[in-house]
Structure 1
Amino acid sequence: MQTQTLTRCPAQGGSCWRPLLLIAASLLGTLSCAPPEPVRVGFIGGLSGRVADLGIGGRNGAILAVEQRNRSGGINGRPIELIAEDDQQDTEIAKQAVARLLARQVEVIIGPMTSAMAIAVVPQINATTVPLISPTVTTNALTGIDDQFFRVVAPTARHVFKSAEYHYRQLGLRRVVLVCDLRNKAYTESWAGDFRQAFVALGGKVVGEIGFAEDDALSTLAARALASGPDGVLIIANSVDTGLLVQQIRLRDRKVQLATAEWAATERLIELGGQAVEGVVVAQYVDRQNDRPAYLAFLEAYRERFAHEPGFAGLTAFDATNVALDALASMQKQQTLKQALLARGEFVGAQSLIRFDTNGDTERDTFLSRIHDGEFRSLP
């Protein structure tokens, strides 16, 4: 092993400090060129399994928002790093995923994408100062609570009446059956309860409510849904099960009116349902005919980046991520991110303004469409 020692420099009459000065200058140069610490943003959603279309759309929307912000200089000169976790639509896995994100010291978490996962992880998040901003969670169970949970879509109680009115007044339905996926009970119970209340108040009748889980045969489910002779069947489930269930119902009844809640409103519904889903009325959180320049720019950028349609999940996750990044950029010293979110209150989304109330809830319209020739067509 060689060691460096200081020796006298006879020509200069002093100690040879030059090697140390060079080393110090080199270290300073290295430090000054070191990249700034990134701003870490977490994402959690179902990236595998039956609801992967929702989670992948959400993750991609978050990716696009982060990439665009990084191209504009990041946040106060710091790059943004997105860390994505798959909750696999399992409550324990979701909790473990959140724990990993917190261990990575994320500033905020975008997600989850379903109400069941939100119910599972919100208590865990509330023990921290890290906000959870969901793109798609609408359960009423998280409404009006002062906690770390925010969302960029409205709770079901604020928009389901629109579906009820359309089915009663425009389609003339009077006797409907509701079919609910119990694996996302926090969402489906909220949606079904609010729809029932609005539909009955108009003069309609819910003649059956059928819950199903993973092991239930869709053929049996279709027969049960039609047993009471309803004039409409409204399915509150993910796009995969909705598409397959519609096929089973159409094998038995070609005339009964079929409709879905917002959860099913992705391109996967059309891909899987095929001809059977033609004519189905679909509620969704995106106005697909919107011509606002910001939305058209988002749509073009998303399609170019990922080669598929963003749907409502891509749009709302893009909005949720930009809300988080805007709040992080404006956060003052000694201010938590929750305080920054509430202090600003209003954010610009791709299609509409996002205004949080004091509990992190917001208003967002829902839109009705009908599937025609393999496309979602907006209804007046």
Structure 2
Amino acid sequence: MSVQRILIFLLAALLAACGKPEPIVIGFIAGLSNRTTDTGEAARNALTLAIEERNAAGGIGGRPLQLLVGDDGQDAATAHQAMQALIRARPAVIVGPYTSAMADVILPLADAAGVVVLSPVITAMHFVGKDDMLIRLNRSTRDNAADYARVLAERGLHRLAVAYDVRNRAFSESWLAELRSQFPAYGGEVIAAVEFESAADTMFSEVAARLLETEPDGLLFIANAVDVARLAQQTRKLSPNVPLAAAEWAASEQLVELGGQAVNGLLIAQSHNRTDEAPRFTAFRDAYRARFQRDPGYSAIASYDAGIVLFQALERRKSGQSVKDAVLRHGPYPGLQHLIEIDAFGDSTRPIHFAEIRDGQFVLVR
């Protein structure tokens, strides 16, 4: 082959390479085949939407974003396998997980690989204040339990019986411990705590009966939306008027869809304001509805915020700067409903809003 032909071949190869910039791989991990699929699917949908919008605007520095999805199945072995597969793809960051139990599994793998894990929602206290590869975009169980303690006491619910799911033990036990620590300051007391393991055959009627036999002022459930709905249904059969509350984990659309009349009046906190009519939020809400034919829940909004954080950090990242350092240094970030500020340990916070379920709707009460 002549020198001229070699040069032409190399130039053509170079032009072809220039025409297809290497994508930036974004990993995602959540429960997509288990009892918390509503949370995982909403989160995946929102991140998909954020990436589609960013790619339509030119990506990051002309490079498109490519989403790789992993299913943790809310199972340690499944999560371990999914996380290893994502790490092998060499992602810039992995968005997730969405329960503290799964964070316990995947974070050691992320630390060993040096891959940033950007979790929109996990809250357990043993993830707070640590210099590792985890960046959290949510409050802590301490923050949330303190607000619940105050609001429940204001409602006259001073003697609480609590049911909590040990399948997500890292979260539920942290949440319960913080409530027990802070409730007495408001004249409150946890008079009973009944553990259960989330499963299709869990005897929620027995859990409800054990809670009610203590004659509490109200019941509090620390569980996912599916299990809170079932607990509420079994409770209403035994005590139609006992006040109910649930930890923020259950605040998805599935709670209303599955709970029906049984969850009417239930108190629950949410990490977003559903009544927000600010143009930026309504634009996201309308785009999400158009793309997925349903309203975005808390995990969707938090995951879209994760996209906002990630895109700004990657766009402003300097040559040689790690992704973790870029995320920590290039804020604050304009979230959909609040300014996201991340501290040196990768911890953040967000506002909280209490709602009651009334006639199939989440109605803000404070």
TM-score (structure 2 length as normaliser)? 0.96
**Correspondence for 1:184 among 162, 168, 184:** 168
Corresponding pairs, count: 364
Counterpart residue type for residue 303 of structure 1: R
**Correspondence for 2:358 among 347, 372, 377:** 372
- Secondary structure, in 3 states, of the residue corresponding to 2:107? helix
**Correspondence for 1:211 among 172, 191, 195:** 195
Note the C-alpha offset of 1:26: 4.2
Shift in CA distance, 373/333, structure 1 to aligned 2, threshold 3 Å:
same
In the aligned structure 2, how far is the partner of 1:203 from the partner of 1:18? 87
Counterpart of 2:219 in structure 1 is: 233
Counterpart of 1:196 in structure 2 is: 180
Counterpart of 1:107 in structure 2 is: 92
Shift in CA distance, 221/66, structure 1 to aligned 2, threshold 3 Å:
same
Note the C-alpha offset of 1:22: 5.3
Counterpart residue type for residue 337 of structure 1: V
In the aligned structure 1, how far is the partner of 2:333 from the partner of 2:11? 46
Q: Does the aligned pair in 1 maintain the 2:338–2:351 contact within 8 Å?
A: no
TM-score (structure 1 length as normaliser)? 0.92
Counterpart of 2:326 in structure 1 is: 340
- Secondary structure, in 3 states, of the residue corresponding to 2:307? helix
Counterpart of 2:252 in structure 1 is: 266
Note the C-alpha offset of 1:261: 0.6
Counterpart residue type for residue 187 of structure 1: F
Q: Does the aligned pair in 2 maintain the 1:267–1:311 contact within 8 Å?
A: yes
Note the C-alpha offset of 1:30: 3.3
Q: Does the aligned pair in 2 maintain the 1:129–1:338 contact within 8 Å?
A: no
**Correspondence for 1:57 among 42, 46, 49:** 42
Note the C-alpha offset of 1:207: 0.8
Note the C-alpha offset of 1:37: 0.2
- Is the counterpart of residue 81 in structure 1 residue 28 in structure 2? no
Note the C-alpha offset of 1:98: 1.1
In the aligned structure 2, how far is the partner of 1:24 from the partner of 1:113? 47
For residues 311-364 of structure 1, give each alpha carbon's deviation from its aligned partner in whole angstroms, at most 9, with x where no partner exists.
Answer: 100000111122112111111111101111111241111010111111001121
**Correspondence for 1:360 among 331, 334, 346:** 346
Note the C-alpha offset of 1:96: 1.3
In the aligned structure 2, how far is the partner of 1:22 from the partner of 1:205? 80
For residues 102-121 of structure 1, give each alpha carbon's deviation from its aligned partner in whole angstroms, at most 9, with x where no partner exists.
Answer: 11110100000001000111
Counterpart residue type for residue 321 of structure 2: Q
In the aligned structure 1, how far is the partner of 2:186 from the partner of 2:266? 22
RMSD between aligned residues: 1.5
Unaligned runs of 5+ in 2: none
Counterpart of 1:13 in structure 2 is: none
Larger Rg: 1
Shift in CA distance, 30/364, structure 1 to aligned 2, threshold 3 Å:
closer
Name whichever of 46-55 and 293-302 sits farther off: 293-302
- Is the counterpart of residue 173 in structure 1 residue 151 in structure 2? no
In the aligned structure 2, how far is the partner of 1:331 from the partner of 1:29? 26
- Is the counterpart of residue 164 in structure 1 residue 155 in structure 2? no
Q: Does the aligned pair in 1 maintain the 2:149–2:188 contact within 8 Å?
A: no
In the aligned structure 2, how far is the partner of 1:280 from the partner of 1:182? 22
